Amino acid sequence: MKNINIYLIICLILLGFTSCEEKEYADFTAPDELSDVSWLIGTEPFVNDPFSINVDTQVPFLDLSQGAISHEWIIEEGNKFLKTGFKSQDSIFDDFIMEDAGLSLTNPKAFVLFKNSGINKVRLLNKFKEKVTYKSSEGILEAHQEGDFWVIDTTFTFDVYAKIKPAFSIFQEGNEILNVTSDEETSLEDEASWPTVEIEAATGLTYVDNTTVGRPNGTTWIIPDGVPSQIGGIEREIKFFKLGTFNAGAIRSLRLNELPRYTAEKVIPLKVKVVQSSQPFQFDGALSEDENEVIRFRVNGELVPFTGEESNFTVNVTNALTGFNQNIPVASARVSEENAIFLELVLSAPIYNSDVVTVSYNGNGSILSADERILQAFGPETVAMHFAGNIIPEKAHASFEEPSGAANRAFALNYFTGNNNILGGGNFVFERNTERASDGMASMKWSTPASNPFPNVNLWSFGLARIASIPAGTYLLSYDLFIEPGTTLKTFRTEFNQPAFSRQIWDIENEPRGEWITVKNTVTTNEITPGMNLRFTFRPHADENPGVTGAQVMYIDNLQFIELEVRP
């Protein structure tokens, strides 16, 4: 008996296996005096699961067994063998299907086109004159005897994902007005024959994704004339404000992340006729400040251009850090040029994102909608202030996206805990995980099976300022947290060791459990440069959690440093 090793090489780089043109590699003939089993499978490199593929994907196989009497590739009904001659970038293979090959091919090389969705198997049979065994990660397998020959029988299993076929329903006030199945095709060319639904301005329709074919894991609704104009989610309400008749939009179904990627889009074959509202003309939210300090808000209908309404608005500005509390006059009130359902206010003095700003309207003006309704009084309503982006550019830092293999690094690149992180029994205080995430694919899990004693472990991050300096200033710090129900943790702390030591205490005792939340804090610092080797620390501490007992579990994600504008 001879021992033989198996080499399952998942790549497209050996022996010119990156393409399927006839001239790319020559037939392989093994020496007769050796008995050995090996093969190549041309799956995609650098993917999480190379045996999960899209339907209509071709996969090359090459049997490199030495001393085998015969080679046989066996596929399932519906899948096809391809002849050579196509290129690696081709996506249509109809001209290369070997119709006469059936389900079995005795060539050492085979190109399999997967036409069936679901679980598919490709079987390799090798026959030898002598008994052989091979070792794999799953154990030792011995050849079995059939007549005068010894047979190695190997099966490769692929999970083949069907093409996504979007399906959806549209509802008005709970009644289904449109249903499009996965097999129905839609086209803008048929627009003239689409049905029309009539709705009042500022009301909406409910869009529901029914897609199952192709196993999608994401949905995007695209409605250029709706609000919002683009949004994700299985079920969403879309409002319409402008008068007129519009297309209902489109659905985009996606398969993302670690699955074989695929996107399919289908037009929604429906017209939406928006007519005058029977409701009062009033404030409808979306009150925010833009980067130019213009305040804008939405009303439930199109606005008619107006002038001279500035004095009917009251804008109050307070700032807890400086004690500022004043009404700032409105210098200009106007209809937005971009969208006539928005009204804009320009103030006569600067505002800062550390301010709390409220807007009121007394209702004494003559601001009209396009259907001649008069704007009602409202307020005070709080403005969502403008904040610049996160100054931490790396997702490895901000969202724990890059893994590490070390337990004393909490399994996350750029972080360090020390060996106290290891609790034994496969448990860790801090552990990068992909069970939950609010941003990207990963988060950091903090857990302890018991709180007495409280784990004395810090999560240190080195090099937050490694790529670029962090300018001097005051910053809004925020984390996304998922606190498991039953967790009684009251606080955690963060610390900076540079340029001067500072500590922030985060109170989470009364925050919701069982959902993602965002918690915020502030820090003021001088400039932090790459050479300072900033050490940023996260840690729940026993001194700040008296009375906390039992198991505790919390996930942290999406660390953000947002610059705060300090009022002079």
Structure tokens at 249: 């939009």
pLDDT at 514 over 80: yes
CA 428 to chain centre: 26
Q: Residue 19: its pLDDT value, please? A: 41
Look at strands 2-5 and 132-136 and give their pairing.
Answer: parallel
Give the residues across from 62 on adjacent strands: 40, 109
Q: E strands within 203-327?
A: 203-209, 218-222, 230-232, 235-240, 244-247, 250-255, 262-267, 271-275, 288-289, 295-298, 313-319, 324-327
Mean pLDDT (the chain) is 88
N-term to C-term CA, the chain: 86
Q: Residue 135: its pLDDT value, please? A: 67
pLDDT at 141 over 50: yes
Q: Residue 466: its pLDDT value, please? A: 62
88 and 35 Cβ atoms separated by less than 8 Å: no
Q: Is the four-CA dihedral 399, 405, 407, 408 of positive or negative sign?
A: negative
Cα separation of 546 and 491, whole Å?
Answer: 10
pLDDT at 114 over 80: yes
Query: Which band of pLDDT confidence, cut at 50, 70 and 90, is reported for residue 217?
Result: very high
Residue of 159, 60, 179 whose CA lies nearest to 112: 60
Note the pLDDT tens digit of each residue in 315-337.
999 999 899 999 999 999 999 99
Task: Supply φ then ψ for residue 530, to 5 degrees.
Answer: -55, -35
Please give the average per-residue pLDDT across 548-565, as a whole number: 93
Higher pLDDT, 538 or 423: 538
274 and 238 Cβ atoms separated by less than 8 Å: no
Cα separation of 348 and 354, whole Å?
Answer: 18
Q: What is the DSSP letter of 301?
A: S
Structure tokens at 133: 């065994």
Give the largest Cα separation in the chain, rounded: 101
Please give the average per-residue pLDDT across 70-92, as a whole number: 88
Q: E strands within 6-137?
A: 8-10, 39-41, 52-54, 57-63, 70-74, 80-82, 104-105, 109-114, 118-128, 132-136
Please give the average per-residue pLDDT across 466-475, as a whole number: 80
Q: Residue 194: its pLDDT value, please? A: 98
3-state secondary structure of 556: strand
User: Within a 10 A sphere around the Cβ of 73, how many other Cβ atoms?
Assistant: 23
CA 136 to chain centre: 36
Q: Residue 7: its pLDDT value, please? A: 36
The burial of 456, by beta-carbon neighbours within 10 Å (0-12 exposed, 13-18 middle, 19 or more buried), is given as exposed
Q: Residue 18: its pLDDT value, please? A: 39
561 Cβ neighbours under 8 A, 6+ residues apart: 390, 391, 392, 464, 470, 475, 476, 477
Higher pLDDT, 529 or 374: 374
Note the pLDDT tens digit of each residue in 274-307.
998 899 999 999 999 999 999 999 999 889 999 9
Please give the average per-residue pLDDT across 503-532, as a whole number: 92
Residue with tokens 């030591």: 501
Query: Which band of pLDDT confidence, cut at 50, 70 and 90, is reported for residue 22?
Result: very low
Q: E strands within 397-441?
A: 415-416, 422-424, 427-428, 430-433
Q: Residue 405: its pLDDT value, please? A: 87
- Residue type present at position 534: L
Please give the average per-residue pLDDT across 113-137, as a whole number: 87
125 and 70 Cβ atoms separated by less than 8 Å: yes
267 and 260 Cβ atoms separated by less than 8 Å: no
Note the pLDDT tens digit of each residue in 157-213.
999 999 999 999 999 999 999 999 999 999 999 999 999 999 998 899 999 999 999
79 and 93 Cβ atoms separated by less than 8 Å: no
Note the pLDDT tens digit of each residue in 345-370.
999 999 999 999 999 999 999 999 98
C-alpha distances out from residue 179 to 154, 162, 195, Å: 46, 22, 12
User: Within a 10 A sphere around the Cβ of 214, how many other Cβ atoms?
Assistant: 21
Please give the average per-residue pLDDT across 543-549, as a whole number: 92
User: Within a 10 A sphere around the Cβ of 376, how many other Cβ atoms?
Assistant: 14
Task: Supply φ then ψ for residue 319, to 5 degrees.
Answer: -145, 110
Q: Residue 5: its pLDDT value, please? A: 38
35 and 4 Cβ atoms separated by less than 8 Å: yes
Q: Residue 238: its pLDDT value, please? A: 97
Q: Residue 137: its pLDDT value, please? A: 65
Q: Residue 463: its pLDDT value, please? A: 64
Cα separation of 239 and 203, whole Å?
Answer: 5
Query: Which band of pLDDT confidence, cut at 50, 70 and 90, is reported for residue 25?
Result: very low
Residue of 65, 71, 101 whose CA lies nearest to 83: 101
Structure tokens at 145: 């005897």
Please give the average per-residue pLDDT across 524-550, as a whole number: 88
CA angle 60, 63, 67 (to 5 degrees): 170
pLDDT at 410 over 70: yes
Residue with tokens 């069982």: 514
Domains of the chain: 2-161 (2.60.40.10), 168-275 (2.60.40), 288-382 (2.60.40.1220), 395-564 (2.60.120.260)
105 and 133 Cβ atoms separated by less than 8 Å: no
Half-sphere exposure of 501 (CA within 13 A, CB side): 0
142 Cβ neighbours under 8 A, 6+ residues apart: 131, 132, 133
Q: What is the DSSP letter of 375?
A: B
Give the residues across from 279 on adjacent strands: none
pLDDT at 20 over 90: no
Query: Which band of pLDDT confidence, cut at 50, 70 and 90, is reported for residue 36?
Result: low
